[in-house]
Amino acid sequence: MFRTRSVVLVLVLLGLVLLAGALPAFAQSKVKLTVWGRDLPDDDPAHQYIKKVVEGFQAANPDIELDYVALGDPGLMDKVKVVMASGSGMPDIFQSWGGSVMGGYADAGRLLDLTEELAHIECSEAAKGAMTWKGKVYGVAPFFAVAGVFLNEPVFEELGLTVPTTVEELEAVADTLLANGIQPFACGARDLWPTLALYMYLVDRYGGIDAFEKARSRQIRFDSEPFVLAAQKYQDWVKKGYFGETPLSEAYGDAQVSMAIGLAAMHVTGSWMCAQYSDPEFTDQTLGFYPFPEMPGGKGKLTDIMGQTDIGFAASITAADKVDAVVRFMEYAMSVEACSADPGRICSVPGVPAPSRLTQMAAEVFGTAEAIQFWWDQDLPPAVTTPLNTTIQSFFMPETDVKQALAAYEDLVAAALGPVK
């Protein structure tokens, strides 16, 4: 009896030892996927998509160990830049807005070409184009944002105003709002980049959809007519007080609050604000989303739309030996299941319903687009993007000579991209 017990005990111990020995081997067979993102996967309404991706992907793929790291803004961009420069410590996948920044990494050989692997994933052409560089696809963009005019509908109704379809009507609306003590536009000029959306539209409405592309490809200068006219109009509006008395002190967050409490009536910005502007806990105002008006006599059309990636993912060369896991992550990121979790962004995946009236309106603006211009600061190389925003910010200073400011910017562009051919 004692002998039998001893044998069983020895066998059990032997089994445990073998199991313990096998466990690391089993664990090693699990692929580890490191993903760097901007937002925390928490309960914040704006983070619902990323939360779903992190939790849903892990649950659906138990053979992959997902290590998601939230780095914030601008932490994500800064850290990605540093590791891409050093070539070591790169994540397998990182959140990317595509465009020229992603292109810079691709040119340096840091990204994984997934053109064939992602070809079967369905999405809008604009979103696909955003994650494509020199004919190669490096990632996916489940959400795409368009710029337009958020507008306080009850205020318009109360003052008998209609949604403007021309810039002249827009100015008349702004004058009426101003006369009634309401700030026409919220902006957030202190943070630089929020000033760009309106300028992109003004240049487009004066010079047409190809004005920017011509300047970028060095066929015309950045201080040529449409750019100067748009800048003059912008500064004219600043001087009239359309952006309030202290626009350069106001951050993007202040602009949102101004809209949320009805202090300002219009906000020209990206559709990523749909979730927040639909959230009854954030605002009790009813806002609508409309395309930016046309310029009488101008070349741009109501259907020329400015857009950019809202959320996207690209893969680094580090993941070359785990392409299958990367593709499975990209597929899940582009799934209806994951995308449906977002409460406000415009989804580029077919079959995902718009989560709110505001998103539906933005999606309709996107749907009517005949031409889409990629957001300038994503389309230009990094060397000249912040100087562009700084130049536009200077339009808010009454003493700025906009022609000189644009000429100085053109000199910078010429130094970085070469002179006009």
Interacting residues toward other proteins by CB under 8 A? 78, 81, 84-85, 104-105, 107-108, 110, 189-192, 244-251, 254, 257-258, 263, 381-387, 390, 393-394, 396-397, 399-400, 408, 411-412, 415
Residue 290: which of 147, 167, 169 has the closest Cα? 147
- The torsion region of residue 295 among left (phi > 0), alpha (psi -120 to 50) and beta comes to beta
- In whole angstroms, the minimum distance from the beta carbon of 193 to other proteins comes to 10
- In whole angstroms, the minimum distance from the beta carbon of 134 to other proteins comes to 14
Backbone angles phi, psi at 249, to 5 degrees: -95, -10
- In whole angstroms, the minimum distance from the beta carbon of 307 to other proteins comes to 23
Contact partners, residue 50, CB within 8 Å, separation at least 6:
37, 39, 40, 41, 68, 70, 311
State the Cα–Cα distance between residues 165 and 168, nearest whole angstrom. Answer: 9
Pairing mode, strands 93-95 and 304-315? antiparallel
- In whole angstroms, the minimum distance from the beta carbon of 160 to other proteins comes to 27
Helix (H, G, I), strand (E, B) or coil at 107: helix
Cβ closer to other proteins: 163 or 414? 414
DSSP string across 242-279:
TT-S-GGG--HHHHHHHHHTTSEEEEEEEGGGHHHHH-
Instruction: For CA atoms 48, 51, 53, 58, give the dihedral sign.
Output: negative
Partners of residue 37 on adjacent β-strands: 70
Cβ closer to other proteins: 32 or 403? 403
Residue 373: which of 200, 182, 234 has the closest Cα? 200
Q: Measure Cα distances from 302 to 73, 226, 291, 296 in Å.
A: 32, 17, 7, 11
- In whole angstroms, the minimum distance from the beta carbon of 412 to other proteins comes to 5
Cβ closer to other proteins: 190 or 233? 190
- In whole angstroms, the minimum distance from the beta carbon of 97 to other proteins comes to 14
Cβ closer to other proteins: 170 or 192? 192
Cβ closer to other proteins: 41 or 387? 387
State the Cα–Cα distance between residues 19 and 343, nearest whole angstrom. Answer: 46
- In whole angstroms, the minimum distance from the beta carbon of 300 to other proteins comes to 27
Contact partners, residue 115, CB within 8 Å, separation at least 6:
135, 136, 137
Cβ closer to other proteins: 341 or 397? 397
- In whole angstroms, the minimum distance from the beta carbon of 144 to other proteins comes to 24
Q: By the 8 A CB rule, do 305 and 124 touch?
A: no
Backbone angles phi, psi at 265, to 5 degrees: -110, -20
Cβ closer to other proteins: 166 or 390? 390
Cβ closer to other proteins: 93 or 405? 405
Residue 170: which of 265, 299, 298 has the closest Cα? 265
- In whole angstroms, the minimum distance from the beta carbon of 220 to other proteins comes to 19
Cβ closer to other proteins: 115 or 386? 386
Prior bond to 74 cis, omega within 30? Answer: yes
